[in-house]
Structure 1
């Protein structure tokens, strides 16, 4: 996501900044649901509406963006690892930099109360990437795909276990209640809780009250989830994040992320990725809707989820590469690149705005699903206008400046003496 933020402004790659900016906006599309209505992320029946425009909102977002934006973030972060470590004497700075990123993640989760923070995961995972930085692109790509497949296999095992639990629960229900063993009763109870596809209506009411009752109340109710995310989930999702970062390192070395690949490469990525990913995503979304967003349906769609996500991400990268090579809409490319250059500041701003709206102003769980995207569009509009203006007057975003200061232990220049573009122009054609 942000590993190239510390690059000298005269040597930046606008292609990386642009894709990072797009991924930043895309991940807000996904995060806003978790920020504003928590457990409704996977199931629109929990709250926020599951008919009409609200259902269509869930459908379009789920088919188009689900799982792909964090994948793009991870890929861009991996590319940043190569950029950063290519400088002389970067070893100490690299580890300090990522340890501070972990600290930013702790701040985002525990102070800004965003339980879906990814900075902590990225800083932690990056510590393991350093040893692979000098491998050639093709080896990095192979290792990255292998790591991703390993993570997908772990998810597959979880899915198998849940489907087996359903099978055992159904079998136990066919036995008269008086004759059921404790194990059979446990399977029925466990599956009953799992099959809801979300918390009970009574729990939803309680969650609304707790999240709307002020900062301390919201912190108290979110703390267990945050603690679990930054402990167990950090290990559980390691192979997924590590694999995507390795793929990003590979794509940078192979010239894909720097627009050095041929146009037909991006075309093949787009067509091939969407040809696999889009039908699978459509199938998964329709399966969930036709089965009432049940727990069983969710676990069934998990069978294809990871590979659909990888294919769809490939399609997105191909599309973005084709757009960049076309040279179209230079003003938009420049503006989005500025958003990407300030990715850490802008990402944390998302959490701060969500904290204000959903906790301090008490809107958690009160908006319909489609209304959440009015907030998303407003944030997009503000950041796509403010980011280029800010970077005309300053070398870095404010949090990027702080991160650089903490990394190197000395104060970097902040204000520009004269406006500058600060990005290497994209190659034409």
Structure 2
């Protein structure tokens, strides 16, 4: 039995959002825990290399794209419910901006502030022709990737998401599954070639962070290796969109045939705001139990992040059995509409 377009679209977007959320703590922990560093083992170097090839920039790119697509969905729905859809969206962005300021206090690398600001910019293009938004999005991604402007990349990715909404790409997923299969095959081949290329280009020594307060200095040899690794990171970022396309296309194809087994990720994605901020709160709280003079290996940090994500997926699935929204999603919704929205399931 074929799923309805609306149901399929919602499920796919929740699944993609949940998948993207999995990768965020593995990168965020490096900024939140200053004590994370290479332990000197080959395993740690491989984990670090894996993160910068398959995770760094890839999952945030998906989130930014979904934000732009969600922007289009929100305004399209709001226009049918109210005479002031733009007021609702501006209010929604203001709430996100405040949430970003508060989140910035514990996670200086957070993205909500940028999303709120870029969301207001994207609003200017809501009525622009879809062809223009598509060209601006693709061109911005290409330029931003090649110049290494990671901070600015979310804006063209949002523009691309807006264009996908205007083209109603995610409303005809089932009918276009052959095209998505073609995208998946092509992007798989591309990511495979890129992975081999990047793995060979990665410096053998890895990236050793300088941590203030620790009784050691980075040698000139290691400093040179670090500079080489930063060049490798810039090179890796050029190919980030290709990996993101591969991840998205695979999830689009998996959802109709394995949606039941992937339902925990749906719940995880529906509570994206709660879980994203929750990851920062949990990781910062755990930092209090790590002695100040302890170096945390990449392996240990990765295990902790796996546990955090696993617990969040379980809690999200249980929570949505009794409630309609995650706690922060509910507050965001109430603030957006200026009304008390029922949170408990009937």
Q: Which residue of 2 aligns with 1:408?
A: 337
1:221 maps to what in 2?
none
3-state DSSP of counterpart to 1:134 = coil
- How does 1:27-426 map onto structure 2 within 5 Å? 27-37=24-34, 47-86=37-76, 87-88=78-79, 89-110=84-105, 113-155=106-148, 237=150, 239-258=152-171, 259-260=173-174, 262-290=176-204, 293=207, 294-298=225-229, 300-301=231-232, 304-325=235-256, 327-328=257-258, 330-332=260-262, 334-358=263-287, 360-362=288-290, 366-417=295-346
Q: Which residue of 1 aligns with 2:217?
A: none
What CA deviation, in whole Å up to 9, does each residue of 1:166-191 have, x standing for no partner?
A: xxxxxxxxxxxxxxxxxxxxxxxxxx
Partners of 1:29 and 1:408 in 2: CA distance? 34
Does the CA-based 8 Å contact 1:125-1:238 persist in structure 2? no
- 4+ residue runs of structure 1 moved beyond 6 angstroms? 9-12
1:71-104 CA distance string (max 9 Å, x none): 0010111110011111223210101111111111
5+ unaligned residues in a row in structure 2: which ranges?
1-5, 208-224
Alpha carbons 2:190, 2:242 under 8 Å: kept: yes
CA distance in 1, matches of 2:69, 2:291: 38
Contact 1:79–1:249 (8 Å) recurs in 2 = yes
- TM (normalized to structure 1)? 0.68
Residue 142 and residue 374 in structure 1: after superposition, are their counterparts in 2 closer, same or farther (change >3 A)? same
User: How far does the alpha carbon of each residue in 1:307-343 deviate from its partner, in whole angstroms, 9 at most, with x for none?
Assistant: 3111111111111111113x125132x2211111111
CA distance in 2, matches of 1:11, 1:67: 27
- Structure-2 change in CA distance of 1:11 and 1:290 (3 Å): closer
Give the distance between the partners of 1:356 and 1:70, measured in 2 at CA: 23
Q: Select the structure of larger CA radius of gyration.
A: 1
CA RMSD of aligned residues (A): 2.6
Q: For residues 102 and 281 of structure 1, what CA distance do their matches in structure 2 show?
A: 36
Q: How many residues align?
A: 317
| Alpha carbons 1:140, 1:250 under 8 Å: kept | yes
1:224-257 CA deviation, whole Å, 9 max, x = no partner? Answer: xxxxxxxxxxxx6564111111112223343444
Normalising to structure 2: TM-score of the pair?
0.83
Q: 2:14 aligns with which of 13, 17, 28?
A: 17
- Find the residue that maps to 2:39 and give its secondary structure: coil
